[in-house]
Amino acid sequence: MKAAFHTGAKEITVRDVEIPKPGPGEVLVKISACAICGSDTWWPKDPGAGEGIHGHESVGLVAENGPGASRFKKGERVVCYAIQGCGACPACKAGYVTACPTKRFIENGFAEYAVYREDMLFPAPKEFDDVTATLLSDAIGVPLRALRRLPPSKGDTVVVWGMGPLGLLQSIFLKSRGVKTLIGVDRVDERLAVAREFGVGVTINPSKENAVEAIARATGGKLADKAYNYVRVPAVTHDAFNGVKLGGSICTLTGLDGQYQLGEWVERTLVWSFYFLPSEYKENVAIAKRHHAELKRTVSGVFPLARINEAFASRFDAQDKSIKIVVTP
């Protein structure tokens, strides 16, 4: 089979390798599409020792069941989950695979075939083509989990920091929840233009103006009720805090790296949200179906495996022109 290996900084090489064999409880999936994630930040760096295939937002057809695997029939179309928990620890037993201390990130989607444990596969809805169905993993799962962690109220003013694919999808879902004023922040003007097309009413480019002051102006000095932060930069987290009113809430999707000067007087609520849980998939699909047309529009490029380098350059070197990019092995 053909598989794409990270062989250098901004260099991916497609090689012929053996098709992997599914072990007990595992399934061999013939990958039809795998999206590039904003977290695929390995691309511009030199590969580490033993680094191999990447790609964790995959959709494909069940090609073979390993011994004892029986959830899916051969030929069934599946969406692949990226985190493999141990299945036995308290976190896994509570459904929080994402918090399993020995969890593994399964990244093997930029290849013609990949092996997954059968409990990491979900049925793909027939209404979605392969390319759009890749969004049903991270791209839809992450913003919808953030809404469960920090539910917006009708009439809220909300700031979304980062108008990449996830911030954009976050905005789409916030709008449908009745958020009154949506403010999008990004340093790339073209992304802000796309955000406005998707209904983000106020857009701010922090490389051109002070974002917190701009939020204050847009809200008549009241500041926002809530913020969702997709930018892993301490200064942005700081601004995300300061752009929310006293008593407001901030949902961080990137954790909290770096040092912060936030005194006790801030009286705001910080909520962490990470990835999504397998138990949420079914409801995510139901919500996604209501946004099918918008979701399709968030995919701005589709590349065959042979052109994966172009796909990555388009995603990370041409952010002014791209949204979500999908590779089709």
Query: For strand 224-229 and strand 202-204, is the pairing parallel, antiparallel, or unpaired?
Result: unpaired
Distance CA 204, CA 94 (A): 40
Contact between residue 91 and residue 97 where contact means Cβ atoms under 8 Å apart: yes
CB of 232 to Zn ion, least distance (A): 14
Q: Which is nearer to Zn ion, 162 or 248 (CB)?
A: 162
The three-state secondary structure class of 29 is: strand
Q: What is the DSSP string of 273-293?
A: --S--GGGHHHHHHHHHHTHH
Does 37 contact Zn ion by CB under 5 A? yes
Distance CA 78, CA 120 (A): 10
Does 92 contact Zn ion by CB under 5 A? yes
CA proximity to 115, closest of 186, 238, 18: 18
Query: For strand 299-304 and strand 324-328, is the pairing parallel, antiparallel, or unpaired?
Result: parallel
CB of 278 to Zn ion, least distance (A): 13
Q: Which is nearer to Zn ion, 85 or 167 (CB)?
A: 85
Distance CA 144, CA 150 (A): 10
Does 100 contact Zn ion by CB under 5 A? yes
CB of 41 to Zn ion, least distance (A): 11
Q: Which is nearer to Zn ion, 37 or 147 (CB)?
A: 37
Does 17 contact Zn ion by CB under 5 A? no
User: What are the residues whose beta carbons fall under 8 Å from the beta carbon of 44, sequence distance 6 or more?
Assistant: 9, 10, 316
Q: Which of the stretches 16-24, 64-72, 95-103, 274-282 binds Zn ion when contact is defined by CB under 5 A?
A: 95-103
Q: Mask of contacts with Zn ion, 112-151, x by CB under 5 A?
A: --------------------------x-------------
Does 158 contact Zn ion by CB under 5 A? no
CB of 254 to Zn ion, least distance (A): 13
CB of 299 to Zn ion, least distance (A): 14
Distance CA 162, CA 38 (A): 11
CB of 166 to Zn ion, least distance (A): 9
Q: Which is nearer to Zn ion, 93 or 222 (CB)?
A: 93
Candidate residues 22, 55, 60, 85; the one interacting with Zn ion per rule CB under 5 A: 85
Contact between residue 27 and residue 69 where contact means Cβ atoms under 8 Å apart: yes
CB of 266 to Zn ion, least distance (A): 31
Q: Which is nearer to Zn ion, 112 or 138 (CB)?
A: 138
Does 99 contact Zn ion by CB under 5 A? no
Q: Which of the stretches 88-96, 187-195, 224-232, 253-261 binds Zn ion when contact is defined by CB under 5 A?
A: 88-96
What beta strand segments (E) does the chain contain?
Answer: 2-8, 11-16, 26-35, 58-65, 77-80, 83-84, 104-105, 113-117, 121-123, 157-161, 181-185, 202-204, 224-229, 244-252, 269-272, 299-304, 324-328
Give contact residues for Zn ion (rule: CB under 5 A): 37, 39, 85-86, 89, 92, 100, 138
